Amino acid sequence: MYSLSFTKNKSKNFKIALDFAKELNCVIKGELITINIPEESIINAYAMIRTLFGFIQNWKGTKATFRGKEVHPYQFILHAHQTGECASITNYDKKNCLTNRSSVGWSCKKLDNIYYDLTGNGNYKTNGKYWYNYGYFKGKKWIIDKQQLAIKLMNQVSLKGLDLCPHFDQNNLRHAIENLPEFIIPDDITFKIFYEEKYIKGEKIMVPNNIRHQTNNFSKLISTHSN
């Protein structure tokens, strides 16, 4: 269930917004107006309520939840709409969607908050951009924390409503994660250690806190570090 709510306010557009909400069979409790959209109707809801968003999306009292968890009111319903569009195209062209375990990536091209393919030379400063950033050092080895990675990816699935797509299979995502290397040994050829500046007793030192890739040859990295 997707629930969109807003509160009574002094905006000149409140009456118009309320009239739209009533057309959508809203529930009114005191100053709170709530529109409930069942899960099977969410991917088609954007066209129905986008006019309402034009009035309420910037109001302080506007909130939304999906399956009981808070989501961005407008962005969620827009993502759900885009998921529906992608799903309809995929019905005609399976190549448009990574739906099987032989495919690369996370099995859904809209799952993009963490990069699967390694591009460029890894010169970036903020950890969390690529799958291998989720891990920890154990001696010379960088252990891939697949549990943390799965949590991050599944959080985006939830926030975007990607599992509303009839083609989305959580098992394919789990398989993609499990197929990643268990650990990586930074060798300054395929991966290097990323250091963080820290001050100890007024002295600046460089402390290892992550890794960075040195090549975009993903298949080579997998074969080199997966054993």
The pLDDT of residue 90:
62
| Mean pLDDT, range 19-33, rounded to an integer | 94
175 within 8 A of 101, measured Cβ to Cβ: yes
Can you list the positions of beta strands (E) in the chain?
Answer: 2-7, 27-29, 32-37, 63-66, 69-71, 135-138, 141-144, 183-184, 191-200, 203-213
For the chain, give the percent of residues with pLDDT over 70: 88
Backbone φ and ψ for 97, nearest 5 degrees, come out as: -140, 135
Domain locations along the chain: 2-88, 97-225
Percent of the chain with pLDDT over 90: 56
pLDDT tens, residue by residue, 159-182: 888 999 888 888 889 988 999 999
Residues 72, 82: Cα–Cα separation, whole Å: 15
Label residues 46-80 b or e (16+ Cβ within 10 Å = b). Answer: beebeebbebbbebeebbbbbeeeebebbebbebb
Q: What span, in angstroms and rounded, lies between the C-alpha atoms of 22 and 81? A: 22
CA distances from 22 to 46, 53, 150 (A): 17, 14, 40
- Average per-residue pLDDT for the chain: 87
**Phi, psi at residue 43, to the nearest 5°?**
-70, -15
Q: How confident is the model at residue 5 (pLDDT cuts 50, 70, 90)?
A: very high
pLDDT in tens, 108-165: 888 888 999 888 888 898 999 999 999 999 999 999 999 999 999 999 998 888 999 8
pLDDT tens digits, 72-117: 999 999 999 998 888 887 655 555 566 555 566 888 888 888 999 8
